[in-house]
Amino acid sequence: MRTFIYADKFFLNSDTKSAGYLEIIDGKFGNYYAELPEKDANIIDHSGKWIAPGLVDTHIHGYKNQDVMDNNAEGLKIMSEGLLECGVTSYLPTTLTSTKELLKDVAKTIGDTYQDVKGAKIQGIYFEGPFFTEEHKGAQNPSYFGDPDIDTFHEWQEASGGLIKKIALAPERKGVSEFVNQVTEEGVVVALGHSNATLEEATEAVEAGASVFVHAYNGMRGLNHREPGMVGALLSLQHVFSELICDGHHVHPQAAEILMEKAGHDHVALITDCMMAGGMPDGNYILGEFPVVVKDGTARMKEGNLAGSILKLKEAIKNVVDWEIATPEEAIMMATWVPAVSCKIDDKCGLIKKGRDADFIVLNPDMTLAATYLDGTKRYEA
């Protein structure tokens, strides 16, 4: 007997379809039908609700009291399972600046574990650093900063089994153009952030192949009328993507709107930058090597600086719609297809397409999450 999902709206790859039926075949997506193609069928009824691709978080350090830098396979499994309650079905575990040795060990642990997780799928690794500069260090430890080194990167990549999909660096470091050229040739996305770079320095890195800006506006030289800086670069350069944290704390809604209007919603990737305190009560936590206090919806270092977030991606898509800076279609696109494309993992996730794993979410019309499905099976229900 054939199985179909019924809902009021479907966010498909090419268009948004109204009420109809989406076939699920052995855990994969089948076709969408406006009318049920056969009477004798198994119908999973989500009347009054919407179906969208599973969310894709391409910048996330931890969740449920687990940190990627803990270098713990069981922690990754807990994090993966917990992310289903956020509507996330695919993600890139994200490292922090640390010693060369620990980063190599973490890369190996993720490479050895990623196929064993049972929740949200690990589609690669994001190395956030350690090739940054101190002026905008954020929660990164500057004692480990250095210039990009291709041999070191290859050690990490080999340890991961080729799983590193993205690495971030500061454009003003020495040897950036050569490094960017090399790793992008190898299929790795280069992101720019935690940097005091000028517009010219950022442009040189983009010309070499860098294509993503790390958590736009945060951890970077701001816009000035005489030196546009990193923010000027992400607002003016072509064919680049910007990560954006839409929790209402990292970026003012109007600043988020300016970026979306200038770059286009199709070049903005909603991310969380979530740390281990995500999904946990207020209190004291650790991000990398630094103590962090979680209170009133923010994660801050003791001196008061924001340190990652406790944002859930399902909240980000609701926020941008509630702030009236994106339509539901644009919000879904920015949390599924755009992050997947920006990290070159869109062959695995980010859209509803025949033959792909049936990883999807069920939304209420107010953009709240009702359920998360993985491989066609309901794994979370609100």
Residues tagged active-site: 273
Element (H, E) at 334: helix 328-335
Strand partners, 41: 2
Q: Facing residues of 285 across strands?
A: 292
Sign of dihedral through CA atoms 312, 313, 319, 325?
Answer: positive
How far is residue 51's CA from residue 322's CA, in Å, rounded to a whole number? 19
CA distances from 33 to 20, 21, 22, 44 (A): 6, 5, 6, 14
* DSSP-assigned letter for residue 195: B
One-letter identity of residue 106: V
**Closest residue by Cα to residue 190 from 173, 161, 212, 208:** 212
Q: 205 phi and psi, to 5 degrees?
A: -65, -40
Q: Which residues pair with 25 in a beta bridge?
A: 28
Query: What is the C-alpha to C-alpha distance for residues 230 and 211, in angstroms, rounded to an integer?
Result: 13
Enumerate the H helices of 186-244 as residue ranges: 199-208, 229-236
Q: Which residue has tokens 């946990």?
A: 280
DSSP 256: H
**Of 279, 373, 274, which is closest to residue 54 (Cα–Cα)?**
373
Q: Is 263 exposed, middle or buried (0-12, 13-18, 19+ CB in 10 A)?
A: buried
Beta bridge partners of 21: 6, 33
Q: Which residue has the tokens 């090597």?
A: 289
CB-CB contact of 203 with 228 (8 Å)? no
Pure H helices in 114-198: 150-160, 176-185
Give which of 155, 100, 91 is closest to 130, Cα–Cα: 100
